[in-house]
A and B are shown apart, each in its own frame.
Chain A
Amino acid sequence: MEGRRLATIEAIDVHYSYRQGVDVLRDISLKIGPGERIAIMGENGAGKTTLVKHFNGLLKPTSGEILVDGVRTRDISVAQIARKIGIVFQKPENQFFAETAEEEIAFGLRNFHFKEDEIARKIDEAMRFASLEKYKGRSPFLLSGGEKKRLAIASVIAWDPEVLMIDEPTIGQDMSQKNRLASFLKEVSTQGKTVVIVTHDVDFAAETCERVILLSSGLIIGDGRIEDIFSDVELMRRASLLPPRLAEVLRGLGLSDFSPGIFRIEEAEKLIEEAIAR
C-alpha cells in the first residue's frame, strides 16, 4: 500500500458522560504516536469502546479535547478523521449491507472518492491481505464468523488509514483465526501503521502489542510497556485481568525470575532452551 504518512492522536483531560452525573470517562490524557501497537484493556464497562469512539470523533468529549494531528475532533467531520483513523467495530454484521464482499470493501473507497481503477486495485489488495480472494463475489452475510471479521477489517484497511483500531478482534474466534489475525496485525504494523486493539484477551495482546493502556471505571490506571504492566500483579487484578498464560507457564517452570517480562512465544522458547542447556 502507499507510502506512509503519520498520525498522532492526543487526548487532553477528556471527560465524557452520557447523562448528567454518570461519568464514563474521567481525566483521560494520553498520546498515541505513529507506528505504535497498543492494547486498550480493562473490565466490562470500563469505557474502552467509548474511548475508541472518541478517537474518530463519533463521540465528542464532554470536557477536554481530542486532537488528531493537532486538529480538534470537534472541528472536523467523522468522515475526515476516518480517512486517517480506521475503526472496526465489534459486530461485523453492523456494517454489512452490500451484495458482495467486493462491494462491501468498495463502500469506504467510494466515500473517500478514490478513482474507479484505483478502487479495483485496492479491493484486490485488501482481499489478498485478508485471505478472502475466493469470496469476492459472495454475500458478506454468508461468510463464517472469522471471515466476516476479516472482511470488516479489510473494508477499513482498504483505504489505507494511518491508524487501524479494532474493537474486540478475538471475540468468537478460534485459535487458528486468532493466530492469523495476530500475523495480520503484525503485517499492518510493519507497514508503519499504528495499531490499536480493544481486547480482554491477554495472550493476544501480549502476542501483538507493545504498549498497554489499562482502564478501570473510566480512569486510566496503567499505561506503559506490556512487560511492565502485565508483571504488575496488583494492577492486573484491579483491571480484572489474569496474567498471560505464558507467564504462568514460565512461573510454573521456575523461570519467571530470569526475565519477568516475557510473554511472546519465541522469547519463551529461547528462555526454556537456555534453561535446558544449563
Chain B
Amino acid sequence: MMALEGFKFRRGQSFIHRADPRMKFILSLAFMTSAVLIMRPEILLSILVVQMLILASGRCLRDWLRSLKGLLLLLALIFAAQMLVTWSWISAITYSLRFIVVTSTMSWFFLTTSPDDLGLSLEQIGVPSDFSFAFTMAIRFVPVIGNEFQSVYDAQRSRGLEMEKGNFIQRIRNYVPIMVPVFVDTIRRTYEIADAMEVRAFGAKPKRTRLNILVVKPTDWALLFAALLLFAATIYYQFFLHP
C-alpha cells in the first residue's frame, strides 16, 4: 500500500500543480521516452535529478520517497534479474535507474494532477464525457479500494491467516482470501455507483457543459516547448549521435 502513496493526488499551489495537465502529460511522456530509449546510466541519472527538482518544486519529495520505499522489492527483483542475465553491474544499475525514472515521472504527474483535471483534459481533447468520467472515477476509487484491501487483510489475519508463511506457491495462494472479497466488493460497488448516478440523472443530456475549462497559459506553452526539446534531443542523441 505504501507504493500507492506516491501516486495519490495531493492538493497544492505550486507551479507544477497549476500547470496544464495536458502539457504535463506530454512532458512526462518525453521523460519516459528518453528513459526507455537512452540506456546510459549518467543520462538516466541526470534525468532523475531533473525529476527530483520537479518533485521538490511541487513539495512532494517525501511522498515520492515513500513510494520508492514501497517499490524497493520490485526494484531489487529487477536488479537481480538483470544481474543474473547479463552479469554486468552497469546493465543492472541502468535497468534499475530506468525503472526509477519511469515510476518517478508517473509519481510527480499523478501527485500533482487532480483526477478532475485529468478528466477535463481528456474531455477537451475530444474524448466522450462518459469515458473521461469513467477514467476520473477509476482514479478516484484507488484509495477507496486500498482501504478496502486493508480491512479485508485485517479481517483475514484475525482469522489466523499468516501471509509470510509457506513456500512461494503457498505465499501467492495466501492472497486468494484477500483478493476475492476485494474484487467482489469492487464489482458490487460499481453497480451501486451506477445506480446512484442514474438516480441523479447522469447522462440525461448528451452534451455536458463545464463550469471550469482548461486554458493554456504562457508558462504551459513553455512546458510544451521543454517537452518537445527533450523529445528532439532524445531522438537526435539516440538515432543520429549514437546510431
Contact of B181 among A82, A96, A111, A159 (CB under 8 A): A96
Query: What size tier do the contact residues of chain A reach?
Result: 20 to 34
Contact of B176 among A82, A96, A97, A141 (CB under 8 A): A97
* Separation of A96 and B159 alpha carbons in the complex (Å): 11
B155 to A, closest residue via Cβ: A95
Chain B facing A: main interface SS: helix
Contact of B155 among A77, A89, A112, A141 (CB under 8 A): A89
- Known contacts: A94-B181, A94-B185, A97-B176. The answer to whether A83 contacts B154 by CB under 8 A is no
CB-defined contacts of B185 to chain A, threshold 8 Å: 93-94
Between B155, B176, B177, the greatest number of chain A beta carbons within 10 A of the residue's beta carbon is seen for B155
**By the criterion CB–CB under 8 Å, are B156 and A95 in contact?**
yes
- Known contacts: A95-B152, A141-B184. The answer to whether A87 contacts B161 by CB under 8 A is no
- Known contacts: A95-B181, A96-B181. The answer to whether A77 contacts B162 by CB under 8 A is yes
Write the nearest CB–CB distance from B143 to chain A, whole angstroms. 15
Which residues of A line the B interface, CB within 8 A?
A: 53, 56, 58, 77-79, 82-83, 86-87, 89, 91, 93-97, 107-108, 111-112, 141, 155-156, 159
> B158 in the interface, Cβ–Cβ < 8 Å?
yes
**By the criterion CB–CB under 8 Å, are B159 and A108 in contact?**
yes
> B219 in the interface, Cβ–Cβ < 8 Å?
no
CB-defined contacts of B170 to chain A, threshold 8 Å: none
**By the criterion CB–CB under 8 Å, are B177 and A89 in contact?**
no
CB-defined contacts of A86 to chain B, threshold 8 Å: 158-159
* Separation of A108 and B159 alpha carbons in the complex (Å): 5
CB-defined contacts of B161 to chain A, threshold 8 Å: 79, 107, 111
Contact of A83 among B148, B151, B160, B176 (CB under 8 A): B160
Contact with A along B163-178 (1 / 0, CB 8 A): 0000000000000111
